[in-house]
Amino acid sequence: MTRPDSNREAYAAQGFELLALNEHFVLINKAAGIGFHDEVEGQNQTIRQLGLFNRVQQCLLEDKLIDQPLFPLHRLDKGTSGLLLLGRRAEVARELGEAFSQGRVQKYYLALSKHKPKKKQGAVKGGMQKARRGAWRLTSGKDNYAHSQFFSRGLGQGYRLFLWRPRTGKTHQLRVAMKSLGSPILGDALYGCQEAIENSAGFYLHAYQLAFHLAGNDYCFQCDPMSEDRAFPWLLPDSTPNGECELALEAFSRPEALSWPV
């Protein structure tokens, strides 16, 4: 397993931090505010803005850390930060792609809100239906069914940290779940958050831990968004008690060992 750090600043300028690289996959920490795919911009839609996937691929090819194109395995919303896995070979892409689609990859997320939830822990279940302006909403039906489990802890000054375990993989699933609890994610204006934040490029939702089995090995990776050692740490207000943040992260440090609410 390789963790090259020599190009850390250059990669951070492109919106990612290289965390691990081996013969099977590349693991990065994605910055909030950058889309996975290329985007076309400008008045005449003639300016192509490279998305994260092509930025990572281009950087690693130029630095000779990989010798062939990568394969996308899963995605994160533009405003979401955290762990993102890319395959290095077609057979790996097939195996891990199936694992993601069948729910055999364990995924955990952290989210921050400044609104008290209707309940402090539990599950959010229901159908997902398209709403206005590109948003989704939760319904009482079973169509496009979404199921998410969560715990939360207060951080002081009105802030609350959420640990999420999505059991399905629907578009905007956790963002909709947070809104349904009355606790929209900090910075997520599409789903009702009105507070202004410093990190205006994204919102406070972070892919925190990934665990999976591949080629006879078990892998588990965790990326703390509050660590100053990370390339894109969450910027919390100075008034937020450090002790409370540390206690919350300690309580959520082994999400796979928690007794998750049904």
Which value, to the nearest 10 degrees, does the dihedral of the CA atoms of residues 96, 99, 101, 105 take?
-100
Indicate whether 2 pLDDT > 80.
no
Instruction: Look at residue 189 and give its three-state secondary structure.
Output: helix
3-state secondary structure 118-153: CCCCEEEEEEEEECCCCCEEEECCCCCEEEEEEEEE
- Give the structural domain span for 109: 8-257
Answer whether residue 180 is part of any domain: yes
Indicate whether 262 pLDDT > 90.
no
Q: What is the H or E stretch that residue 95 is in?
A: helix 90-101
Half-sphere exposure (CA, 13 Å, Cβ side) for 14? Answer: 20
- pLDDT recorded at residue 109: 98
Q: Which two tokens stand for residue 66?
A: 């990989």
What are the backbone dihedrals phi and psi of residue 147, each rounded to the nearest 5 degrees, phi first? -140, 120
Answer whether residue 140 is part of any domain: yes
CATH of the domain at 95: 3.30.2350.10
Answer whether residue 3 is part of any domain: no
Q: State the total domains in the chain.
A: 1
Indicate whether 112 pLDDT > 90.
yes
Answer whether residue 71 is part of any domain: yes
Cβ neighbours around 80 below 10 Å, total: 24
- For residue range 168-219, list pLDDT tens digits in order: 999 999 999 999 999 999 999 999 998 867 655 789 999 999 999 998 999 9
Answer whether residue 173 is part of any domain: yes
- pLDDT recorded at residue 42: 58
Q: What is the H or E stretch that residue 55 is in?
A: helix 52-62
- For residue range 181-192, list pLDDT tens digits in order: 999 999 999 999
Residues recognised as catalytic: 77
